[in-house]
Structure 1
Amino acid sequence: MGYKTLCFGLTCILFAYFIYVPIPENVDEPWKVRIVDAVVKTTSLTAMLFENIGLMGYEKLFSTLVKLDYTQPISDENVTVMDTTFTDIPVRLYLPKRKSERQRPAVIFIHGGAFVLGSCRQSPLDLLNRLTANKLDAVVVGVDYRLAPQYQFPTPYEDVISVVKFFLEDKTLAEYGVDPTRICISGDSSGGTLAAGVVQQIQNDPEFKNKFKAQALIYPGLQLVDISMPSHQEYEHGPVLSRNMAIELGCLYLTNDKALTQAMRKNQHMPHGSGHLFKLVNWSTFLPEKYRKQHVYTEPVLGRLNTSFSILLDNRLSPLATNDSQLQNLPLTYVVTCQHDILRDDGLIYVSRLRNAGVKVSHDHMEDGVHGALSFMTLPVYLRLGIRIKDKYINWLEENL
């Protein structure tokens, strides 16, 4: 009892400290964001302490809390919701109930969570996909790929590819009454990473080429090549997603070796032979001038880690580090970025590179936005920012799919 009281007391002290950490002035609903930020920072520090004393891995505490928000597949008067599997991978299907005289569009949604957390069953994403199905009269597929660190790269990516290819088969599309010319893949955060990587692979697969009409990427992380972009520096401590937390969780997608985590903090993680990738993610070339400010570009340091991390050369991890010739084949694209987000510059650079490659791109930049807002658009937090992003996303799909 005394141990639990001590832990509770320490947690309260940490929360009280973090609640007064400064946040950007123009953030929407600043006190709500302060509370979310304080909860995340308190959880992160507690998780790090638990890991250091050998109680549990860093991600376990986050995972436990996120699972409290999982929902059951409850249908309503408009949409039938069911949990099933595609190629043994769990998916949640949203099927409109009203009769349709024509084939329906479809959306494949990939959830975020740094590849180690989350599910399409979380209440905000369940709401998002339910509303998408109802508003667009669309079939929506939420993919519950296996998570790191138990299943590290490329397993989560391959799970998504497997579900996508199964769904894109003619017999599957016919079963669900889907129009094969009106299919979109979308994702938020690391789900956006997976969605972008999957589209690039699918578009270069002769069997499935041109199967996607659109991709929608919501504050995506799109590269691991350079972890010192202006947004990484400006929002190193958040709000909500700090650089350290992103690195701690993100590295679990690749390895349990803490050497990578330490090297990535210093931007010294890329192996020899990866220098050609730098020009593809060079923020001094592609980032709009207003976001460069007074920052001075410095290349990542090569070769400080052994060759076992040559996996970092795999462009499935870094869709941004892809040649223009491959980007030219990509479908209609929608990107949401948030100003106060360490992943901001990934999205901004991708927008620039896609437009340079001739891809039609729609871009919404939330000047008062923070990372992860979609995950906080239901009670008890209910961020207006999450509602706005949800509305913009669904409206774009309605107009373009």
Structure 2
Amino acid sequence: MASKLVVLAIVSVLLGYYVYTPIPEAVEERWKLMLVDAAFRSLEHLAELTELIGFKHYMEMMMVLTVAESVDPSSDENVNVTDTTFNKVPVRVYEPISHSPGLRRAVIYIHGGGWCLGSAKMQPYDLLSRKSATELDAVIISVEYRLAPVYHFPDQYNDVYTVVKYFLQRDVLLQHSVDPGRVALSGDSAGGNLVAAVAQQIQEDPDVQGEIKIQALIYPALQTIDFNTPSYQQNENMPILPKTLMVRFWSEYFSCDKLLLQNMMANSHTTLESRSLSNFANWSIHLPERFRKDYKYMLPDRGNTDSSARIPGVFDSRAAPLLVGDEKLRSLPQAYIVTCEFDVLRDDGAMYATRLEKAGVQVTHEHFEESFHGAFMFITWPTDFAIGQKMVSHYIDWLRKNL
């Protein structure tokens, strides 16, 4: 009996040690976040093992989470849900069953997941789309773009661009009873990156018939120049998105080249040519002082740049939309940018908000001091967080007032 108690005590201590992760006091529901993070880390460790033994690529194993959360396109009393394609790109369409007279709003939504994971079919995205469609009386187009490691940049970007351009055609808008002047482009994390990139490029396409009225970027990833911003340093080991995972997402977006990943991790991936872009993401200039804190700016090390020099797209503005001049920003639509204090991507969003404002774009920058990356999608049991519900509520309220 005594030996069993000893074993139980040891197992309990080890389990507690594994689950416990230091989390800032400002974060609410800290123990729930620790448990969610423990589950995430378990899957990550399994993914590392399967890749090490050559069984599966790391990201292919991580996709288990996406598959496990997928739901069928089920209509209900409020929303008609269908899976279809827009110019050969899969989309899930949510259309309100009852609506007020006249044309509707529309939101083209781009899911997150580091360009490697995620799906429009995941339960949190499905719930968000249903809620948005019902509360806004809006058509929601949720895009199912291709993912790494099978597909790399610019495939993800091209899929989203294709859907947006297709949907903005007058006959397509009419088919869905959508007002051409009330179309929004929205996305979280990697989806926010794709929203910003497409919004920049599509305004210059003479073949696009309509326009985007507003853009909503939820904790977007926006630059590939510097992975040592204050938020990357402050939140290096923060659940749900530690620096190692975010940098790996960036690396996989472009290539499976391990040297690129190694150089990005060391922040020594810039080239001589890319140095000219550094000022666009210079946080000592563009980051509000309250986010800089006591961190000291250093120009990223040029180091061994063979990998980034031979892999196209690493510093392409379609992949890193912060890396453009002000002239590209001036004609962009009104923006809603959400950042979280405990998120490696905080400074990307904050710098973009600052630069857009300086370029004359109307911007609402909402910063959640008590929140963390991924919270926007933690709205379904058992990973429902009060802060996630709050963020979604604020997001829908902003769309209601501005779209």
* Offset, 1:303: 5.6
Are the equivalent residues in 1 in contact too, given 2:180–2:210 (CA < 8 A)? no
* Offset, 1:12: 9.7
Distance 1:326 1:21, change over 3 A: same
Letter of the 1:317 counterpart? A
* Offset, 1:101: 2.1
Letter of the 2:377 counterpart? S
2:28 aligns to what SS in structure 1? coil
In the TM superposition, what are the counterparts of 1:1-400 in structure 2 within 5 Å?
Answer: 16-208=16-208, 211-302=211-302, 304-306=304-306, 307-400=309-402
* Offset, 1:310: 4.5
Letter of the 1:104 counterpart? R
Most deviating of 59-68 and 180-189: 59-68
* Offset, 1:206: 2.6
Are the equivalent residues in 1 in contact too, given 2:353–2:363 (CA < 8 A)? yes
Are the equivalent residues in 1 in contact too, given 2:168–2:210 (CA < 8 A)? no
User: C-alpha separation between the residues in 1 aligned to 2:376 and 2:244?
Assistant: 21
* Offset, 1:105: 0.9
- Per-residue CA deviations over 1:228-276 (Å, capped at 9, x if unaligned) read 1011011111121111111223311111110000000111112220111
User: C-alpha separation between the residues in 2 aligned to 1:293 and 1:364?
Assistant: 19
Are the equivalent residues in 2 in contact too, given 1:18–1:42 (CA < 8 A)? no
User: C-alpha separation between the residues in 1 aligned to 2:60 and 2:149?
Assistant: 10
Distance 1:178 1:255, change over 3 A: same
Are the equivalent residues in 1 in contact too, given 2:224–2:315 (CA < 8 A)? no
Percent identical among aligned pairs is: 45
Are the equivalent residues in 1 in contact too, given 2:153–2:313 (CA < 8 A)? no
- Per-residue CA deviations over 1:129-170 (Å, capped at 9, x if unaligned) read 111111111111000001111111111110111111110011
1:6 corresponding residue in structure 2:
none
1:4 corresponding residue in structure 2:
none
User: C-alpha separation between the residues in 2 aligned to 1:371 and 1:353?
Assistant: 22
Most deviating of 298-307 and 25-34: 298-307
Letter of the 2:57 counterpart? G
Distance 1:168 1:267, change over 3 A: same
Are the equivalent residues in 2 in contact too, given 1:15–1:39 (CA < 8 A)? no
User: C-alpha separation between the residues in 2 aligned to 1:375 and 1:313?
Assistant: 28
Most deviating of 266-275 and 167-176: 266-275
- Per-residue CA deviations over 1:183-204 (Å, capped at 9, x if unaligned) read 0000000000001100000112
User: C-alpha separation between the residues in 1 aligned to 2:216 and 2:159?
Assistant: 19
Distance 1:310 1:347, change over 3 A: same
Distance 1:277 1:378, change over 3 A: same
Distance 1:12 1:187, change over 3 A: farther
The root-mean-square deviation of aligned C-alpha atoms, in Å, is: 1.6
User: C-alpha separation between the residues in 2 aligned to 1:284 and 1:12?
Assistant: 46
* Offset, 1:14: 7.6
1:311 aligns to what SS in structure 2? coil
TM-score (norm 1): 0.94
* Offset, 1:50: 2.1
User: C-alpha separation between the residues in 1 aligned to 2:399 and 2:302?
Assistant: 41
* Offset, 1:88: 1.1
2:273 aligns to what SS in structure 1? coil
User: C-alpha separation between the residues in 1 aligned to 2:269 and 2:205?
Assistant: 31
2:254 aligns to what SS in structure 1? coil
- Per-residue CA deviations over 1:16-53 (Å, capped at 9, x if unaligned) read 43321211111021111111122222222221122112
User: C-alpha separation between the residues in 2 aligned to 1:12 and 1:383?
Assistant: 26
1:212 aligns to what SS in structure 2? coil
Most deviating of 238-247 and 96-105: 96-105
Letter of the 2:304 counterpart? R
1:393 aligns to what SS in structure 2? helix
User: C-alpha separation between the residues in 2 aligned to 1:68 and 1:38?
Assistant: 17
2:62 aligns to what SS in structure 1? helix
Are the equivalent residues in 2 in contact too, given 1:124–1:374 (CA < 8 A)? no
User: C-alpha separation between the residues in 1 aligned to 2:314 and 2:15?
Assistant: 36
1:385 aligns to what SS in structure 2? helix
1:358 aligns to what SS in structure 2? coil
- Per-residue CA deviations over 1:349-388 (Å, capped at 9, x if unaligned) read 1111110111000111110001011222101111111111
Q: How many residues align?
A: 391
- Per-residue CA deviations over 1:311-360 (Å, capped at 9, x if unaligned) read 22211111111110010010010011000000000011111111011100
What 5-or-longer segments of structure 1 have no aligned partner?
1-10
Are the equivalent residues in 2 in contact too, given 1:270–1:312 (CA < 8 A)? no
Are the equivalent residues in 1 in contact too, given 2:169–2:209 (CA < 8 A)? no
User: C-alpha separation between the residues in 2 aligned to 1:142 and 1:300?
Assistant: 36
Letter of the 2:102 counterpart? R
User: C-alpha separation between the residues in 1 aligned to 2:180 and 2:190?
Assistant: 26
User: C-alpha separation between the residues in 1 aligned to 2:13 and 2:117?
Assistant: 26
